[in-house]
C-alpha cells in the first residue's frame, strides 16, 4: 500500500508539472501572437529618427543649384562627368528603404566620396556639410570606393591591345621614341603610421607611405595600377611582385606585348616594350635609360634624353592624379589596408576625367606644390643588371634610332 501511495504521489506531481509547462507555453504563444497583431495595426513611425543637421542640408541644397564651374570647384569633376559616374555605379550603391528612415540617395553618396577624394577632410566636417552621420561618411567612402574599383577597373584600366596598341605606339613614335606601349613609374602616397610594422612604411625621406606603381600611356592615362607596398620597399621588389611582371616573365618568349609587333634592326629583334627610369631592371619588355654615372657617348646621351622625354607622361599623370584627388597628397585617417583601393579608385576616376575631356585646372597644380606637402624620395638606381638580350635591344635602338623611327 505504501508503494501504491508513493506511485500516485509521483503521478500527481508529474501531472502538475506537465500542466504548468503547458500553461507557460500557452501564455508565451498568446503574448507573441498579440505582439504580432499589434505590430501590424500600429505605426512604426517616430517623431525623430535622426538628429537635425540643417547646415549639411543647406549645403547640399545649394550644391544642387551650382553652375558647372561651381560644381567642378567643389567636387573636382564637372556635372557631365558626375552624372556619367552616377550612371555607371548608381545601381550598386542604392540602399534598401526601411521603416525607420529613407536611405541616402546614390547622388549624395557619390558626392560625399568625391568630396573626400578631392579634399580628404575630417569625417566630422563632411558629415556636417552633407547632413549625414560621421560613421555614415566613413561607410559611404568605403562602399563607393569599392563599387568604383569592382565595377570600373577592368573597363578603364588595361594595357593597350589591338587598335589601341597601334595608336599608342604611333603616339610615342611621334614623341621620337619607337616601339613603346607605355611608361612605367612609381610614386609614394603618404599615410598615417599603421599599427602593424609602422617602421616598414617609412621611406628614405622619413615619412610613412605606400607605393603606387603605374603604367601610363601617351595620353597620361593609367593602363596598369599596382599599389600598397610599404614605402621602404625598392622599385625592383614592387615590380617583381606585380601581375605585370608575372604576365611578362611567364610568357615563353619573355615579351609583354604580341611578338608580331616586333621589328628587325641590324638582325636584332626590337619588341614593343615599356620604358622606365633607372630604378627598374632592364628587360626585353622594359627598357630604361643609361646610367649617368658612366661616361656616355653622344648617341647614348641622345637616347637617354629621348627616352626620358617620352617617359615624362608618367610625371604628368601623377601630377594630375594628386592635384585633382588631394587625398593622395596628405595623410588621412583611413586604414592602410584600404589605401590600395582608394589609390586604384582615384586612378580610375583620373582616366574617366581624361576620357571625358574633363580638363585639369591650373590652380590644382599650384595647390599640389604648396608648402607642407610631402617631398617625394629620390629615385634609387638599380645596379643589378647583367649583360643580356635586353642590353642588346637597347644598344640597337640607340645606334639605329632614326632608322627605327622611320620603319
Q: What predicted TM-score, i.e. pTM, was given to this entire model?
A: 0.84
Q: What is the pLDDT of residue 407?
A: 79
Confidence at residue 122, expressed as pLDDT on a 0 to 100 scale: 79
pLDDT score of 2:
79
**Three-state SS sequence of the chain:** CHHHHHHHHHHHHHHHHHHHHHHHHHHHHHHHHHHHHHHHHCCCCCCCCCCCCHHHHHHHHHHCCCCHHHHHHHHCCCHHHHHHHHHHHHHHHCCCCCCCCCCCCHHHHHHHHHHHHHHCCCHHHHHHHHCCCHHHHHHHHHHHHHHHHHHHHHHHCCCCCCHHHHHHHHHHHHCCCCCEEEEEEEEEEECCCCCCCHHHHECCCCCEEEEEEEEECCCCCEEEEEEEEECCCCHHHHHHCCHHHHHHHCCCCCCCCCHHHCEEECCEEECCEEEECCCCCCECCEEECCCCCCCCCHHHHHHHHHHHHHCHHHHHHHHHHHHHCHHHCCCCCCCHHHHHHHHHHHHHHHHHHHHCCCCCCHHHHHHHCCCCCCCCCCCCCCCCCCCCHHHHHHHHHHHCHHHHHCC
Give, for all 407 residues of the chain, the pLDDT tens digit.
878 888 887 888 888 888 888 888 888 888 877 777 766 665 455 444 455 554 445 677 788 788 889 999 989 999 999 999 999 999 999 876 665 567 789 999 999 999 999 987 778 888 888 888 888 899 999 999 999 999 999 999 999 999 999 999 999 999 999 999 999 999 999 999 999 999 999 999 999 999 999 999 999 999 999 999 999 999 999 999 999 999 998 887 778 999 999 999 999 999 999 999 999 999 999 999 998 877 899 999 999 999 999 999 999 999 999 999 999 998 887 899 999 999 999 999 999 999 999 999 998 987 666 556 788 998 889 888 877 889 999 999 999 999 998 87
> What local confidence, expressed as pLDDT, does residue 299 receive?
94
Amino acid at each position: 500500500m505504501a508503494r501504491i501511495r508513493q506511485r500516485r504521489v509521483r503521478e500527481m506531481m508529474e501531472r502538475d508539472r506537465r500542466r504548468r509547462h503547458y500553461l507557460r507555453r500557452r501564455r508565451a504563444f498568446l503574448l507573441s501572437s498579440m505582439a504580432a497583431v499589434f505590430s501590424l495595426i500600429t505605426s512604426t513611425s517616430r517623431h525623430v529618427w535622426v538628429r537635425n543637421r540643417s547646415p549639411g542640408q543647406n549645403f547640399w541644397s545649394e550644391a544642387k543649384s551650382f553652375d558647372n564651374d561651381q560644381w567642378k570647384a567643389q567636387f573636382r569633376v564637372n556635372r557631365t562627368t558626375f552624372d556619367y559616374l552616377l550612371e555607371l555605379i548608381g545601381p550598386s550603391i542604392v540602399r534598401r528603404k526601411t521603416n525607420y528612415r529613407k536611405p541616402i540617395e546614390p547622388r549624395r553618396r557619390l558626392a560625399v566620396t568625391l568630396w573626400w577624394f578631392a579634399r580628404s577632410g575630417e569625417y566630422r566636417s563632411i558629415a556636417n556639410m552633407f547632413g549625414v552621420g560621421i560613421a555614415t561618411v566613413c561607410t559611404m567612402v568605403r562602399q563607393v570606393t569599392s563599387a568604383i574599383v569592382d565595377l570600373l577597373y577592368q573597363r578603364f584600366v588595361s594595357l593597350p591591345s589591338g587598335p589601341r596598341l597601334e595608336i599608342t605606339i604611333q603616339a610615342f613614335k611621334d614623341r621620337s621614341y619607337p616601339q613603346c606601349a607605355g611608361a612605367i613609374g612609381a610614386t609614394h602616397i603618404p599615410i598615417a603610421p599603421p599599427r602593424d610594422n609602422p617602421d616598414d612604411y617609412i621611406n628614405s625621406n622619413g615619412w610613412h607611405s605606400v607605393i603606387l606603381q603605374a603604367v601610363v600611356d601617351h595620353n597620361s592615362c593609367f593602363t596598369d595600377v599596382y599599389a600598397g607596398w610599404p614605402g621602404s620597399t625598392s622599385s625592383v621588389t614592387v615590380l617583381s611582385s606585380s601581375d605585370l611582371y608575372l604576365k611578362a616573365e611567364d610568357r615563353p618568349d619573355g615579351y609583354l606585348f604580341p611578338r608580331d609587333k616586333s621589328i628587325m634592326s641590324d638582325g636584332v629583334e626590337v619588341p614593343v616594350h615599356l620604358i622606365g627610369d633607372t630604378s627598374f631592371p632592364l628587360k626585353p619588355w622594359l627598357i630604361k635609360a643609361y646610367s649617368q654615372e658612366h661616361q656616355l657617348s653622344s648617341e647614348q646621351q641622345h637616347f637617354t634624353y629621348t627616352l626620358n622625354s617620352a617617359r615624362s607622361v608618367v610625371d604628368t599623370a601623377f601630377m594630375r592624379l594628386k592635384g585633382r584627388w588631394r587625398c593622395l597628397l596628405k595623410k588621412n585617417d583611413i586604414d592602410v589596408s584600404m589605401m590600395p583601393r582608394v589609390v586604384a579608385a582615384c586612378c580610375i576616376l583620373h582616366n574617366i576625367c581624361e576620357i571625358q575631356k574633363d580638363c585639369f585646372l591650373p590652380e590644382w597644380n599650384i595647390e599640389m606644390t604648396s608648402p607642407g606637402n610631402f617631398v617625394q624620395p629620390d629615385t634609387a638606381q638599380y645596379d643589378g643588371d647583367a649583360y643580356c638580350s635586353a642590353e642588346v635591344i637597347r644598344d640597337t635602338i640607340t645606334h639605329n634610332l632614326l632608322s627605327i623611327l622611320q620603319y
